[in-house]
Amino acid sequence: MGQNIKFSVKIKEDDLYRFNLHHTYSTSQGLISVILFALLIVVWILRFPVLSPIYRLFYPLMAVIFLIYIPLSLKLRVKAQMQQEVFSFPLTYELKEDGIWISSPSAEEPAVLPWQYIYKVATWKDYLLIYSNRVNAYILPKADISGQYQDIVEYIKTHVEDYKLQIK
């Protein structure tokens, strides 16, 4: 696979939001908020007859706050992130022998992610995700790379260790 592969993707607000939501709910923070929501509802149902009127309102209100706080805060954070210049333009990726070169009209020099520094490569729903660490990933919407998807995956498989691949 000596041939470089070049492609561009434009990250939309929905792409970034879906990734952040997925990432948050697959961590302990997201799991704890869902568990707290369920516990509050269970306690509310079981204790309803003996609760004072204020607590009859308090429990479901707190449960809803636990349920909507994370998605709402993520939505606001993504809106702020989308204001950054880097999201104004498509990112151009070039898969080369020494790594992935990422360039944007908003940056003077391309960023290079050497193959050995890739944390993992995964697929999730409509995305190919290239993680540079445990939290941050380059989000590649499959729709944007549909014509080259198979070639991109094959190139990555020849340059990234098998244990880092979670491609379905």
- Domain residue extents for the chain: 5-11+84-166, 16-81
**Which residues neighbour 104 within 8 Å (Cβ) at sequence distance 6 or greater?**
86, 89, 90, 91, 92
Task: Give me the pLDDT at residue 143, please.
Answer: 95
pLDDT in tens, 150-164: 999 999 999 999 999
CA-closest candidate to residue 118, choices 131, 105, 128: 131
What's the pLDDT at 27? 81
The span from the CA of 17 to the CA of 13, in Å, is 6
Q: What is the pLDDT of residue 1?
A: 46
- Per residue in 1-16, pLDDT tens? 468 999 999 999 999 9
Comparison of pLDDT for 130 and 28, the residue scoring more: 130
Instruction: Give the mean pLDDT of the chain.
Output: 93
Could you tell me if residue 99 is left (phi over 0), alpha (psi between -120 and 50 degrees) or otherwise beta? left
CA dihedral (16, 19, 25, 29) in degrees, to 10, reads -60
Residue carrying structure tokens 């193959």: 115
More confident position, 168 or 121: 121
Phi/psi class of residue 68: alpha, beta or left (left: φ > 0; alpha: ψ in -120 to 50)? alpha
Q: What is the pLDDT of residue 2?
A: 60
Strand partners, 140: 128
What's residue 30's pLDDT? 82
Q: Which helix (H) or strand (E) holds 99?
A: strand 99-103
Q: Which fold has domain 5-11+84-166?
A: PH-domain like (2.30.29)
